[in-house]
Amino acid sequence: MIVVTGASKGLGRAICERLLEKDFEVFGIARNVEGLSFPAMACDVSSYEQVKAVSQKLKKDGQKITGLINAAGIASMNLAVTTPASVAANIIHVNLLGTIYCCQNFAPLMLRNKAGSIVNFSTIAVALGLKGESIYAASKAGVEGFTRSFAREMADFNVKVNCVAPGPIDTDLLNGVTSTQIHNIVSQQIIPKQFTPSAVSDLVEILLDERSGSLSGQVLHVGGA
């Protein structure tokens, strides 16, 4: 079973749909899971207790967890000095602490089998140092650092940990971002094009199976940086 956070919409939903097409068993996590066609449970990843409750339920049900996709995330494109403290804190809590909490609670379910793959999500904003995304980039830079160290901690248990860092993807996360802003970001990528959720889902699928070989502790930029 693959656990996917942020499963109700955007990139997380696209990843779930791709994995289901490839006959993976999927369990979704999102704040609102109403209407999902696959098993899911409502959970705010920024709450350690809520994440723990989900992991304990899956453990009690005897589910064999082979993968974790930390796709839940929020963004706010704004200058750091004009970003309210509450917004900054929420970005850090969801993007960084949410990823850590999920890894802390779901990775142990993989250790018993000595096999598994974890995919975290960063952003090209970290590598490019994009103006107006400093707090968002800070949260995701933390995810990248965590991924590298956590990969070493999991290596003895044959659990791989990698990070995917896309450029702008056409999802709800871009609501409020103008086409000019998107163009300016895309133009700085090695491959200057806007990718679809499907392209990212393809990469995630590869990281979940044997095709990824011994790849671990890596940050993979969709679009190139």
Our separate counts of H helices and E strands in the chain read: 8, 7
HEC states along the chain? CEEEECCCCHHHHHHHHHHHHCCCCEEEEECCCCCCCCCEEECCCCCHHHHHHHHHHHHHCCCCCCEEEECCCCCCCCCHHHCCHHHHHHHHHHHHHHHHHHHHHHHHHHHCCCCEEEEEECCHHHHHCCCCCHHHHHHHHHHHHHHHHHHHHHHHHCEEEEEEEECCECCHHHCCCCHHHHHHHHCCCCCCCCECHHHHHHHHHHHHCHHHCCCCCCEEEECCC
Instruction: Look up residue 158 and give its two tokens.
Output: 């044959």
Please indicate whether residue 101 is annotated as part of the active site. no
Distance, CA of 207 to CA of 120 (rounded, Å): 11
Q: Which is the catalytic residue, given 136, 146, 150, 195?
A: 136
CB atoms within 10 A of CB 211: 9
Catalytic machinery residues: 136
